[in-house]
Amino acid sequence: MTTVFITGATSGIGKTCAEHLAAQGYEVIATGRNQSALDELKDKALENNWHLQTLKLDITNEQDISNATEKALAFTDGNGIDVLVNNAGYGQVGFLADLSLVQIKQQYEVNIFGMLAVTKAFLPQLIKNKAKVINIGSMMSRLSSPWSGLYATTKAAIRSLSDVMRVEFGVLGVKVFLIEPGAIKTEFHTKAISSLEEVDQEKSLYASTHRWLKNNEYSPFFAMSEIEPIEIAKLVEKIIVKRRAKSRYVIPFMARVIMVFNTIMPNTLMDIAMRKTFHLYESKRK
Ligand SMILES: NC(=O)c1ccc[n+]([C@@H]2O[C@H](COP(=O)([O-])OP(=O)(O)OC[C@H]3O[C@@H](n4cnc5c(N)ncnc54)[C@H](OP(=O)(O)O)[C@@H]3O)[C@@H](O)[C@H]2O)c1
């Protein structure tokens, strides 16, 4: 039986992947920080006779990671995992001038260092099983828009890291894939907005943009073409099943269009479009 280990499985994409894959008959190890969410998942698994184990794992916690590798071996009778889905992550929004170094470091700590730490810790199991690693990046890897620029840099790093992993781990038999989603209907955006609460928005150099963003409920990009997390879960399953899956998927189609558009547009025009979209010129005049 194929064993799939998922980080950040307590909500959104990770949880949907865990439930979908377990329902399809995979052995799932669903991990996360939120114990009550893990307990709910476990109860649902028992009700449905799924092969699903839960495990507490904060991907920034070395002890949790070491414990997770041992438990994964125990759950699989020493065989180890066959698929690692690096999904856990969050979006710290805010203008670079407003964000504290603590917020900046924490964003990297989770989205990059945590993901790398988990992957490295599981490497012996991944190599032994010629496993697959599926990284969840973002279309933002190619769209460093204002306000979510810090988050975008972490997803650009995940894109680069996925390329390096694919080359380096590939010779060891481990296949690496990257999914770069556009807007997905999860709690991600609500959490991203709440990450802004620590920023003193009225003192910000961009106070008028903050006011505008508040009134417009962060609509410009994300209201556009949100899709359900099950679409990502099905794509993860497709990558697991396919012998020759593509190394990178951008989903939905609109996200691909935006990425291509951003690549072919001259920077000067794109900068103006971004400033206009985010009402930055008003901030400048203030
Ligand atoms: N939703 C979108 O539009 C979108 C688009 C592109 C990419 N993505 C990416 O998709 C992934 C999943 O996001 P989502 O949309 O499903 O959002 P979500 O519902 O907020 O889920 C994020 C998951 O990551 C977990 N997490 C955060 N920090 C963690 C840590 N230190 N250790 C372990 N788990 C941690 C969260 O756990 P807690 O509940 O404990 O915080 C949660 O389970 C993220 O990497 C995100 O960047 C999302």
Residue 64 beta carbon below 6 angstroms from any ligand 1 atom: no
Nearest CA to ligand 1 atom 8: 138
Q: How much distance in Å is there from the Cα of 106 to the middle of ligand 1?
A: 14
Q: What is the pTM of this model?
A: 0.96
In the chain, alpha helices (H): 12-23, 35-48, 62-75, 101-108, 115-128, 149-170, 188-194, 207-215, 219-222, 229-241, 253-264, 267-277, 280-285
Report the CATH architecture of 3-204+225-262: 3-Layer(aba) Sandwich (3.40)
Is the CB of residue 80 below 6 angstroms from any atom belonging to ligand 1?
no
CB within 8 A of 31, min separation 6: which ones?
A: 5, 6, 7, 8, 9, 38, 54, 55, 56, 57, 68
Q: What is the pLDDT along the chain (286 residues), one digit of tens a residue?
A: 999 999 999 999 999 999 999 999 999 999 999 999 999 999 999 999 999 999 999 999 999 999 999 999 999 999 999 999 999 999 999 999 999 999 999 999 999 999 999 999 999 999 999 999 999 999 999 988 898 999 999 999 999 999 999 999 999 999 999 999 999 999 998 898 888 887 888 888 898 888 887 776 555 555 567 899 999 999 999 999 999 999 999 999 989 998 899 899 999 999 999 999 888 888 866 5
Which of the following is catalytic: 90, 108, 151, 218? 151
Find out whether the beta carbon of 17 lies less than 6 Å from any atom of ligand 1: no
Q: What is the pLDDT of residue 220?
A: 52
Mutational pocket test of ligand 1: of 5, 188, 195, 256, the residue with most ligand atoms within 8 Å of the beta carbon? 188
| Catalytic-residue membership of 151 | yes
